[in-house]
Structure 1
Amino acid sequence: MIRADQGDTVKVHYTGRLADGTVFDASPTDRPLHFIIGRKEVIPGFEQAVIGMYQGGKKTATIAPEQAYGPHRPELVEEIKRSLLPADLTLEPGRQLEVDPAEGQKFVVMVKAVGEEMVTLDANHPLAGRELIFDIELLEVTKGGAPKNAH
């Protein structure tokens, strides 16, 4: 049996969910996720969950925020005057906006609340501070290289 380890290319199917059962992501059935262990192509906790798995194996892994998208950082939540945003911008809680500050480095924020004069924006990753549960099936392990049928 082939065991996944550092430097191996793996192909997995996964379903990611929250503690309440809400599914936030899943690999399409016809397109498993490919990544190389150790290259930081996936969140650290997911990579650690795959290490040591055997090809054909399945497991459920619970990943703490520190090994996923980090803790929720209150300093990344800001209330700004609505007048500072374009007048034609549709603002509703849950909507993501791409922000381009003067420094020119674009990033995404989530609209958390909309008031008459103020808007609350959150630059945290939507899954920051959340414990994530992944059901993982390891379909293929290629030792130290890319699988022959990689896309």
Structure 2
Amino acid sequence: MTNSTATPQDNSKIIGDNSQVILHFDLTLEDGTAADSTRVSNKPAKMVMGDGSLTPNFEECLRGLTVADKKSFTLKPTDAFGMPNPDNIYYIDKTKFTADMELSEGMIMGFSQPDGSELPGIIRSIAGHSVTVDFNHPLAGQTVVFAVEIIDVK
């Protein structure tokens, strides 16, 4: 008689529909430039498959992974954060900002929405009394590389 250390795969630990996933991720651009990482703060991300917090393409890459899996995958712009939409660029009169606010190109700031939520916008340019604000995702139009490490699946 032989003792086997292999145990049957616990299907509850495999990422699928409605799985609650805790993971570390590193997000880089195609040229290796760091864009985001949970490791900087050492706080893993928590998400639920199908809750809309991730694109369907990103979720598809996670399906079938299990605890301790490490995987890296590349997503084209249309599969990640989309392409920039010119309708998301607004020209706002400088008088709409508080007088003591120092605006600078590249600055990211929150804009209050009618429903009380906040939408981040990037100041792209300041010309006279016109401020160009880009509400596209900062990574729109970029091919991105996600490296993930699955910490837990429920």
Cα distance between partner residues in 2 of 1:119 and 1:39? 35
Instruction: Give the equivalent residue in structure 1 for 2:4.
Output: none
Amino acid aligned to 1:128: A
Instruction: Give the equivalent residue in structure 2 for 1:73.
Output: 85
Does structure 2 retain, via aligned residues, the 8 Å contact 1:45–1:64? Answer: no
Instruction: Give the equivalent residue in structure 1 for 2:64.
Output: 52
1:8 is aligned to 2:16? no
Amino acid aligned to 1:23: A
**Mapping 1:99-110, distance limit 5 Å:** 99-100=111-112, 103=114, 106-110=118-122
1:86 is aligned to 2:108? no
Instruction: Give the equivalent residue in structure 1 for 2:29.
Output: 18
SS in 1 for 2:133: strand
Instruction: Give the equivalent residue in structure 2 for 1:34.
Output: 46
Deviations 1:112-143 (A, max 9, x none): 0122343211111212222221011122222x
- TM-score of the two chains, using structure 2 as the length reference: 0.76
Over the matched positions of the two proteins, sequence identity in percent amounts to: 26
SS in 2 for 1:45: helix
Aligned length: 141
Instruction: Give the equivalent residue in structure 2 for 1:145.
Output: none
Distance 1:108 1:32, change over 3 A: closer
- TM-score of the two chains, using structure 1 as the length reference: 0.77
Cα distance between partner residues in 2 of 1:30 and 1:81? 40
1:31 to partner: Cα distance: 2.6
SS in 2 for 1:49: helix
1:119 is aligned to 2:128? no
